[in-house]
Structure 1
């Protein structure tokens, strides 16, 4: 009789996997360099510091380089956000983390791709793990 209880506890608590927390959608569409948004669109330089308000965003320091992977197409009354990853020898521990930031925060300094695809933004684009 003890074995079924142990299995129930394991299934109900210890063996559960965390799910991504759904967050508010920032846009319905985005532009990317390819269907998977894996190509870098451009390089930008931060004009000021930005502190991420939640896990969908990244922290950026003034003058830090940012690789831009996608650009959200704004909804009426919403801000313009891009997604990217920071680059800096000083902040090497943050490289590779992709998140959103206000497009007005950066100045695009180098474009890698002019040919882009427009894709629908899904709830996965705005989930926190």
Structure 2
């Protein structure tokens, strides 16, 4: 039994997802600039709804389920606005903690504009640090 448990543990450690392996380290920047409503990017600029599921490539990104509401806090600027940063909440209040991260702008549709994204802010290494 102990030998079987040892093999199971080894198999589990060898097959960890990339999200687990990449946690706790600096990842490459997706952009050098972002557009926000304020200099700290602390106010949401818009609310969007997911058009499709999105499964993250690595720990910089957040998983999104079709129909989820996303609060967008920043639009990355350098690469044609391909990625936005924001938070998602479960399908009903209290289902899960809000998660912050990046996602492709193409998987969401804007539903409500909240504040104009007029503040250009330089990204830092912490914007892309995996916890």
TM-score w.r.t. the length of structure 1 is 0.76
- Matched with 1:49 is 53
In structure 2, C-alpha distance between the alignment counterparts of 1:52 and 1:122, rounded to whole Å: 21
For structure 1, the 5+ residue unaligned runs are 1-18
Contact 2:41 2:74 in 1 (8 A): yes
Deviation at 1:52, TM superposition (A): 1.2
In terms of Rg, which structure is larger? 1
TM-score w.r.t. the length of structure 2 is 0.75
Contact 1:32 1:119 in 2 (8 A): yes
In structure 1, C-alpha distance between the alignment counterparts of 2:94 and 2:110, rounded to whole Å: 20
Describe how 1:29-108 pairs up with structure 2 within 5 A. Answer: 29-75=33-79, 80-87=82-89, 88-89=91-92, 92-93=95-96, 95-108=97-110
Aligned residues: 108
Deviation at 1:115, TM superposition (A): 5.0
Structure 1 consecutive aligned stretches of length 4 or more whose deviation exceeds 6 Å? none
In structure 2, C-alpha distance between the alignment counterparts of 1:74 and 1:29, rounded to whole Å: 6
